[in-house]
Chain A
Amino acid sequence: MIEFLWPTLIAVMLVFVIGLYCVLVTFNLIRLLIGLEIMIKAVTLLLILSGYVIGHPYLTQSMVITLIVIEVVVMVVAVGVVLNIYTHTGTLDTRSIRELKG
């Protein structure tokens, strides 16, 4: 069982970096949300892996289910904000919402 640990950790790290890179590089509002989703998937896999390694998957199962519920609602609210931005600016480019000098 424990030999699953190393390759999965490497895969989690890779997927996390891929998601983070997508968030940092993209100029599209929706692609940013997709990148966030990919990062959340990496963390889901890490949670499941932890539960598996300690031999007790039930705790992490309930945590993953809660996490998925919360993630869906966050995505719905984010998509609502993106739709409203589109109604105002007519485009999905992140460069169009850089009016405030952050």
Chain B
Amino acid sequence: MFSLYVFILAVLVLMALFTIMTTSLLRAGLGLALTSAVLTVLMFILNTPLAAVFELSVCAGLIPVIFITVITLTKPLKKLEAEESAKEKFHRFRYLPLIVLFLFVLFVALNIKLNIALPNVEMEPDARQIIWNVRRMDLIGQVMVLLTGAFGILVLFREIRKR
């Protein structure tokens, strides 16, 4: 179980790496969807099925569709241009392994120990439905966010009327 878990974590990191390093934007959008899918699997393993389903439907479905729509609207798929500049694209990522190595050395040097006394959380109720009663403020927040989003779409996506 543990080695399977570490393997899925490695797949997550590799998919994130693929998403940013790929040269075509469409593949980046697809990479985002796949990263979300792997994250969903992780969330299922970590006992949070509700959030996993939400993540799968929204972050692996809705957001990549938005991105792919925008990419298609703004860049006609010209393969020649993409391949021309593909040669030097990897040059930008030369610092990334250095940064990762530096962070790793920092971690080991500081000798960070996680001695956390786990808190006792008996104050929390058990069932999922009651959570929505405990955190009702967030529900109001979500309603306001959705209203704001509706107004944002109204304002930003309206066509510029040609006179």
Q: Is B87 an interface residue (CB 8 A)?
A: no
With contact pairs A18-B20, A83-B70 given, residues A52 and B145 touching in the complex (Cβ less than 8 Å)? no
User: Judging by beta carbons under 8 Å apart, are A83 and B9 in contact?
Assistant: no
User: Judging by beta carbons under 8 Å apart, are B12 and A55 in contact?
Assistant: no
Q: How many A-B residue pairs have CB under 8 A?
A: 186
Write the nearest CB–CB distance from B45 to chain A, whole angstroms: 9
Question: Mostly helix, strand, loop or mixed at chain B's interface?
Answer: helix
With contact pairs A17-B99, A69-B146 given, residues A60 and B25 touching in the complex (Cβ less than 8 Å)? no
Q: How many residues on the B side are at the interface (Cβ–Cβ under 8 A)? A: 68
| B-side contacts of A44, CB under 8 Å | 39, 55
Return the chain B residue nearest A20 by Cβ.
B99
Cα–Cα distance between A80 and B149 once the two chains are bound (Å): 11
User: Judging by beta carbons under 8 Å apart, are B48 and A61 in contact?
Assistant: yes
Q: Is A100 an interface residue (CB 8 A)?
A: no
Q: Is B131 an interface residue (CB 8 A)?
A: yes
Q: Is B153 an interface residue (CB 8 A)?
A: yes
User: Judging by beta carbons under 8 Å apart, are B135 and A62 in contact?
Assistant: yes
Which residues of chain A in 24-47 are interfacial with respect to chain B, using CB atoms and an 8 Å cutoff?
Answer: 25-26, 28, 30-31, 33-35, 37-38, 41, 44-45
| B-side contacts of A75, CB under 8 Å | 63, 66
Cα–Cα distance between A32 and B3 once the two chains are bound (Å): 33
With contact pairs A56-B124, A61-B51, A62-B131 given, residues A84 and B156 touching in the complex (Cβ less than 8 Å)? yes
The 7 closest A-B pairs by CB, nearest first: A80-B156, A73-B149, A22-B20, A64-B51, A11-B9, A77-B152, A52-B46
Binding site for A on B (CB under 8 A): 2, 5-6, 9-10, 12-13, 16-17, 19-20, 25, 28-29, 32, 35-36, 39, 42-43, 46-48, 50-51, 54-55, 58-59, 62-63, 66-67, 70-71, 73-75, 92-93, 95-96, 99-100, 103, 114, 116, 118-119, 121, 124, 126, 128, 131-132, 135, 138, 141-142, 145-146, 148-149, 152-153, 156-157, 160
**Could you write out 27 A-B pairs with CB less than 8 Å apart?**
A7-B5, A11-B9, A11-B13, A13-B103, A14-B13, A18-B17, A30-B74, A35-B20, A37-B63, A44-B55, A53-B116, A56-B121, A58-B131, A60-B51, A62-B135, A66-B141, A69-B146, A72-B59, A72-B149, A73-B146, A79-B67, A82-B70, A83-B70, A83-B74, A86-B73, A87-B160, A92-B74
